[in-house]
Amino acid sequence: MNAKRKRGKPAKRAAPAPPPGHPYVRNLLGWYAAVKRPFPWRGTADPYRIWISEIMLQQTQAERGVRHFTAWLRRFPDIRAVAEAAEADVLAAWEGLGYYSRARNIRLAAKRVMEEHGGEFPRAHEKILSLPGVGDYTAGSIASIAFGAPEPAVDANVLRVFARVLDICAPIAAAGAKRMVTEAVRALLPADAPGEFNQALMELGALVCGRSPKCGECPVRGDCAAFRNGTAADRPVKGAKSARTLRETVAGIVLDADGKACVRRRPPGGLWAGMWELPGGEIENGESPGEAVARHIAGALGTPAAVRGEIAVVRHGYTTNRAVLHGYLCELAEPAQTRRDDGAAWKWVAPGELASRPFPAGHRKLLERLGWK
């Protein structure tokens, strides 16, 4: 039977999970051993490396994460190095990955490991889970891979896989669906290789059981209820999508008579906390992007700026909104007032000094357009 959708009503109840010791485990582990991708965080039981990789990959594709992971380890080879680093250095190392609260939580967690656990990463699942920025999935992944604990690690990939294995017809985000999947995975965990099994499930979801399932390539399709029922293409069932709002902003690279750029460091709390930014802000109704950037610069610096031209338009997609950033190259129209540096903390910085300062991704892209990397 192929994976094409069958007509008719879906099953009202999820199929039973494969029992412990089922061939599903053996077949999946055999497949994983043959095809697993050689990522630098695999083949190690070092909890620090596993932890960093899992946090880093939460919002990053694995192939892209390799470069960031390798660079991070060069800069912070162990937990002590992160704990002793300044927040600005940690943010700079994280630049390009977004969601900077993850980097701040890594630093806070490293400090806690040094202070409360003598520098040794905790082994117990509940202690791992208590670290800042660590949730159920990350704790299960670290506990199983680093310490061989029989803890499931259920991420979006695993939810998708087991929505098909169990042929769950309820929305996967519904109350109880994740609990059902978690318990099904827990029941299958082999005592001698829980970490390998968790990684194999994630790999299956990434390579085979994706949004468009490749059932013909699946090593465990014989034990997949959705494959048998012809509903694999319809699983997982998604809930209603919330409307995403559009947020349009501007930013200006403002140069003074010496060719220095105007930047400032944001306060320690709120959006982009502790990072550096270019002057700019929201576009008001009826206002063009060029008018908006001129208004924001005049308000920030107390003097008008000449808008020379648009550098780029940077687009971002987030869970609940879409953002468009219009970037402009600007020059101060009144050179005599270029040294304003008051409580707003605007600084004039040479282009060569900007690379070491952490900027939001959109602002960094604008700087890179001018070759300031």
CA within 13 Å, CB half, 140: 21
Q: Which of 115, 183, 131 is nearest to 154 (CA)?
A: 183
CB 359, CB 349: distance < 8 Å: no
Q: How far apart are CA 309 and CA 328, in angstroms?
A: 6
DSSP 285-326: TT--HHHHHHHHHHHHHSS-EEEEEEEEEEEEE-SSEEEEEE
4 DSSP 8-state letter: P
Q: How big is the chain by its Cα radius of gyration, in Å?
A: 25
Q: Which of 54, 151, 203, 277 is catalytic?
A: 54
Residue in the block written with tokens 């929305």: 171
Q: Where are the alpha helices (DSSP H) in the chain?
A: 23-35, 47-56, 62-75, 79-84, 87-94, 101-116, 125-129, 136-147, 156-165, 177-188, 194-207, 225-229, 289-301, 361-369
Q: How far apart are CA 103 and CA 95, in angstroms?
A: 9
Residue 346's DSSP bridge partners are: 264
CB 59, CB 83: distance < 8 Å: no
Q: Count of CB atoms within 10 A of residue 47's CB? A: 20
Residue 216's DSSP bridge partners are: none
Annotated active-site residue 54? The verdict is yes
CB 328, CB 310: distance < 8 Å: yes
Q: Which residues are the active-site residues?
A: 54
